[in-house]
Amino acid sequence: MAVTAVGTVAVSVVLLGTILFLHESFAIFMKQVVGQVTIAAYLKDNSPKAMVDGTMRVMKSDPRVQSVTFVSKKQAMDGLRDRLRGQMNLNLINTNPLPDAIMIHPADPNDAAAIAKRLQGLPSVATVNYRSDVTQKLLRVESVLGAVGLGVVGLLLAATALLIYNTIRLTVFARRSEIHIMQLVGATHWTVRWPFVFEGILTGVAGAVIGIALLEFAYRTFAPKLAIDLPFLPFNFAVVPVGTIALELLGTGALIGMLASMLSVSRYLRST
């Protein structure tokens, strides 16, 4: 088992693990942010109650909508008063300029724009507001990062597989007379192949274990500091499923080692 191959698997696993970690944490962050998307439909003043009820009914019957809540002018003012308590005394204002509103939670944040458009067409609705720009940008960033991450991971895995493939080829070449003897006494291709495949799996697993140990060390050392020092980063370190990522990396290492070595020995056996 070549040290170089194990080392390269370890480096690949570190990079792959970092990408997986960042992807997972960003995905969790996205779920939290995008999951909070609320569409606020501010109603025209003096809209008849029947018309407001109609708007509520239309929204409740829309399958894309998860929940619909009516917020009266008074509730809105009370809420605002609560939020600004200690900063501004709203009791000084005699009138309530806030309109009645309907708050809508879409089941899928991607439907927010379509629901908002539908609301806009209803007669009791004055204006519709949701953070469309932020939501759309985040969704786009997520898809771009996902694609780039996938590409980088793909390249890394291919490079790792190629290295294990070559390492096993060298081993096969060094043991070609032994393989020849095995074949002469009637060993099947699988009997010849198995020790090399085992070596490939071992290379992959050994590299993955080293890589995971390095990642674990980095995670323990840097994650808490980063979480405190850079709180604005969209990564939620605490909730990332580190154990699952480690298992995925171990499985990937073993799989790559197995496939690369199988390919390598099979190619040699075909040529004999």
Partner 1 sequence: MIVFKGVGLVYPNGVHALSDIDLELGRGEFVFLVGGTGQGKSSLLKCIYREAEPTTGEVDIDGIPLRGIAPGQIPFLRRKVGVVFQDFKLLQQKTVWENVAYALQVTGASSRDVMRRVPRMLELVGIAHKSKMFPYELSGGEQQRTAIARSLVNNPLILLCDEPTGNLDPETSNEIMALLARINAKGTTVVVATHNQAVVDRMRRRVVRLTNGRIAHDQERGHYHIGLG
Which parts of this chain interact with partner 1 (CB under 8 A)?
Answer: 177-178, 180-189, 191
Select 192 or 258, whichever has its Cβ closest to partner 1. Answer: 192
At closest approach, how far in Å is the CB of 201 from partner 1? Answer: 21
At closest approach, how far in Å is the CB of 194 from partner 1? Answer: 11
Select 188 or 244, whichever has its Cβ closest to partner 1. Answer: 188
Select 186 or 243, whichever has its Cβ closest to partner 1. Answer: 186
Select 97 or 186, whichever has its Cβ closest to partner 1. Answer: 186
In this structure, are residues 105 and 12 in contact, taking their beta carbons and an 8 Å threshold?
no
102 CB-contact burial (10 Å; exposed 0-12 / middle 13-18 / buried 19+): buried
Which amino acid type is present at position 92?
L
At closest approach, how far in Å is the CB of 264 from partner 1? Answer: 18
At closest approach, how far in Å is the CB of 180 from partner 1? Answer: 7
Rounded CA gap, 219 and 193, in Å? 38
Select 183 or 236, whichever has its Cβ closest to partner 1. Answer: 183
At closest approach, how far in Å is the CB of 2 from partner 1? Answer: 20
Select 191 or 244, whichever has its Cβ closest to partner 1. Answer: 191
In this structure, are residues 98 and 77 in contact, taking their beta carbons and an 8 Å threshold?
yes
Select 189 or 267, whichever has its Cβ closest to partner 1. Answer: 189
Question: Minimal CA–CA distance to 119: which of 134, 106, 136, 138?
Answer: 106
Q: What is the DSSP string of 30-90?
A: HHHHHHT--EEEEEPTT--HHHHHHHHHHHHT-TTEEEEEEE-HHHHHHHHHHHTTTT--G
In this structure, are residues 45 and 99 in contact, taking their beta carbons and an 8 Å threshold?
yes
Select 66 or 191, whichever has its Cβ closest to partner 1. Answer: 191
Rounded CA gap, 236 and 28, in Å? 7
Cα 272 to its chain centre, rounded Å, is 46
Strand partners, 185: none
At closest approach, how far in Å is the CB of 177 from partner 1? Answer: 7
At closest approach, how far in Å is the CB of 230 from partner 1? Answer: 56
Tokens describing residue 92: 């000084």
Tokens describing residue 18: 């970092």
Question: Minimal CA–CA distance to 75: which of 100, 92, 41, 95?
Answer: 100
At closest approach, how far in Å is the CB of 172 from partner 1? Answer: 16
